[in-house]
Homo-oligomer: A and B are copies of this chain.
Amino acid sequence: ICAMAWPMVDLRPVGYVIGLLVAALGVTMVLPFAVDLWAGNGEWPVFLESLILTTLIGGVLALACANSAQGGLTLQQTFLLTTGVWAVLPLFGAIPFVIGATEARAVDAIFEAMSGLTTTGSTVFSGLDQLPEGLLLWRSMLQWFGGVGIIVVAMVFLPELRVGGMQIFRSESFDTGGKVLPRAAQIATRISVIYLFLTAWCYVSYILVGMSSFDALNHALTTLATGGFSTHDASFGAFQGAAEYVATLFMIIASLPFVRYVQLLGGQTGPLWRDSQVRAFVMTLALIITLIVAYRMWSDNIGFAFALRESLFNVTSIMTGTGYASADYQVWGAFPVVVFFFIGLVGGCAGSTCCSIKVFRFQLLFASIRAQVQRLHSPHGVFAPRYEGSPVSEDVLSSVMAFFVMFIVSLGVLSVLLAMTGLDFVTAVSGAATALANIGPGLGDIIGPAGNFAALNDTAKWMLSAAMLIGRLELLAVYAILTVQFWRT
């Protein structure tokens, strides 16, 4: 299959890695298979069939592309691999939704799998509480894989591709010297250990506050991925109380740069505490929570403890882009709704499982504006924007700027396209935002925290699926492939 080579681009190394990943994804289906078997719900053939099909196709693809040159990946191949992984894996992740109890059509199954692997968490399924255990676990696993996958991409691939200003983390992520794949495998291993440990810790904590073992497992998987899939239609509304505090803690942990945890393991606590992105993120989050608590106490005359728990959980859930809801915050009034819309566009830290514009980009943009304002006053002075004490290169700044502009323009164009399919203003605009920023719920009656994406038309679902992919890969990693220049050189 891989023998065909695009003009000048050898697709075999790309096909090889994607094939391996597809086969690996297939192998992991043994878990939901086992769960269904153990639960005795009679659904185990679904995952057995999916497992065989996925592993087989992935294996054949990898074998067909195996005898390709063993050198490093070219820049073009790296671009194609990054997008290719998130474009191809959802097709296989969707199989159980088609043949399983959800009996989903292709568009719904792919939407759900894409929402999983991009850690978005928007769902087209309702009646989650009645779904077989295997399918529920599969949804959570997709998010968990997507989460660890994106950390590796953010630490190894995006700095290499110099996309969205991620090259500012290049030195930090240990320069690959062009050898992306060995480096990726090495980092993936180290990150996976940390990710697994944090997930286990979250699982135990959920158990301790009274969740069932199955719920704890699923929510631990989707918390660390800032994914937001739940096993209940009521989302975290089913676990009001102590579990909300646990979830808040782990959503924040999942939103910090994972490279800091690698350093922490190496005994270095300094980098984490001194990280200006971490500080800015935590301070912004604290400020927003304070505002919402004050508003809730004043507006609805509710007690501090209740207001704090609800606000802490739901604000953190939206700002980190996790997308759980423990209450329909739309009934809190217009102020929280507008705040939730805009903090979802901020997001967490780079190098975490969070999506959206991210804190470091705002820091860099504001640093640039500050330098700009200084220049206004002293036209002949030289003011370079600084980040963490070092001057920021023009290359990084223009990358960040390009990301920001493309994010806003994509948001506008996608809103218009969604409205063209018949969605109302709030559904179109918030749907575009929640897909591009991989948050999960939108606003309004249809796709808001109390609703789901089932009722949307198919065209809108395809658009949103594409937007989740584009947003997850920091836009330009995907857009670059769509240019003529990409294929010419």
Listed in ascending order, the chain A residues whose CB lies under 8 Å from chain B are 75-76, 79, 161-163, 295, 333-335, 337-339, 341-342, 345, 365-366, 368-369, 371-379, 394-395, 397-399, 401-402, 404-406, 408, 412, 415-416, 418-420, 422-426, 428-429, 443, 476, 479-480, 483, 485-486, 489
Q: Which residue of B lies closest to A432 (CB)?
A: B338
A428 CB contact (under 8 Å) in B75, B334, B428: B334
Provide a sorted-by-A list of 24 A–B residue pairs whose CB atoms are within 8 angstroms.
Answer: A79-B376, A334-B419, A334-B425, A335-B419, A337-B419, A337-B425, A338-B416, A339-B416, A342-B416, A345-B412, A365-B401, A368-B401, A369-B405, A372-B398, A373-B485, A374-B485, A376-B480, A377-B483, A377-B486, A378-B489, A397-B398, A401-B405, A425-B443, A426-B426
Closest Cβ of chain B: how far from A385's Cβ, in Å?
9
B485 with A377: CB separation less than 8 A: yes
Closest Cβ of chain B: how far from A159's Cβ, in Å?
12
Q: How many copies does the complex hold?
A: 2
Closest Cβ of chain B: how far from A440's Cβ, in Å?
18
Known A372-B399, A376-B476, A377-B489: A338·B429 in contact at CB below 8 Å: yes
B419 with A368: CB separation less than 8 A: no
Q: A162-B376, A401-B405 are in contact. List 19 more A-B contacts (CB 8 A).
A: A75-B376, A333-B422, A335-B416, A342-B412, A345-B412, A368-B398, A368-B401, A369-B402, A369-B405, A369-B406, A372-B398, A372-B402, A373-B483, A377-B485, A377-B486, A401-B401, A401-B404, A404-B404, A408-B408
Q: Which residues of B are found within 8 Å of A379, using beta-carbon distances?
A: 75, 162
B476 with A425: CB separation less than 8 A: no
Q: Which residues of B are found within 8 Å of A398, using beta-carbon distances?
A: 368, 371-372, 397
Q: Which residues of B are found within 8 Å of A365, using beta-carbon distances?
A: 401, 405
Q: Which residues of B are found within 8 Å of A486, using beta-carbon distances?
A: 377
B415 with A342: CB separation less than 8 A: yes
Q: Which residues of B are found within 8 Å of A404, using beta-carbon distances?
A: 401, 404-405, 408
A373 with B443: CB separation less than 8 A: no
A415 with B338: CB separation less than 8 A: yes
